[in-house]
């Protein structure tokens, strides 16, 4: 995929993300509470992310192994980082709703699929990992993402 631009609701944080591929969806309780529904996000390696307005970014350590960023001005959810406890580390799980153009992205996986509410379902033939499978894959020993 080509590079994509995007930003938060108020425009205080803008970014250019390169080398985007398909996106994933997380149904864990933390993501649902943070994003207001499932978290739809595309992985962006650190080297492929350019950020403007970093001074507006606030981060919240949601577990020993992950942090979540939001705009300190408007509150927009920005990204999740599986940082293994190291601040400002790990690839960005960039929420696709922030992209100026999200057309052409493909749903590749769902995680915590056994935690999703029964009021929604995503179609398509892609991997759906349960909580146990997700935690085993990413080496986590805690609830949520």
**Backbone torsions φ then ψ of 35, nearest 5 degrees:** -95, -10
Averaged pLDDT of the chain: 91
Give residue-wise pLDDT tens across range 99-144. Answer: 999 999 999 999 999 999 999 999 999 999 999 998 888 765 544 4
The answer, yes or no, to whether residue 1 has pLDDT greater than 60, is: no
The more confident residue out of 58 and 63 is: 58
Q: Give percent above pLDDT 90 in the chain.
A: 77
Strand 14-17 and strand 4-7: the pairing is antiparallel
C-alpha 27: how far from chain center? 11
């Amino acid at each position: 995929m080509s590079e994509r631009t995007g930003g938060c609701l108020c425009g205080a944080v803008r970014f250019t993300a390169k080398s985007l591929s398909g996106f994933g969806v997380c149904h864990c309780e933390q993501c649902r509470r943070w994003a207001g529904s499932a978290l739809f996000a595309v992985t962006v390696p650190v080297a492929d992310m350019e950020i403007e307005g970093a001074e507006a970014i606030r981060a919240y350590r949601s577990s020993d192994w992950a942090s979540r960023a939001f705009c300190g001005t408007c509150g927009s959810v920005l990204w999740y980082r599986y940082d293994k406890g190291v601040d400002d580390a790990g690839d960005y799980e960039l929420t696709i709703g922030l992209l100026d153009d999200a057309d052409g992205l493909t749903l590749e996986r769902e995680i915590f699929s056994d935690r999703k509410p029964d009021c929604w379902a995503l179609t398509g033939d892609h991997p759906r990992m349960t909580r146990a499978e997700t935690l085993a894959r990413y080496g986590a020993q805690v609830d949520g993402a």
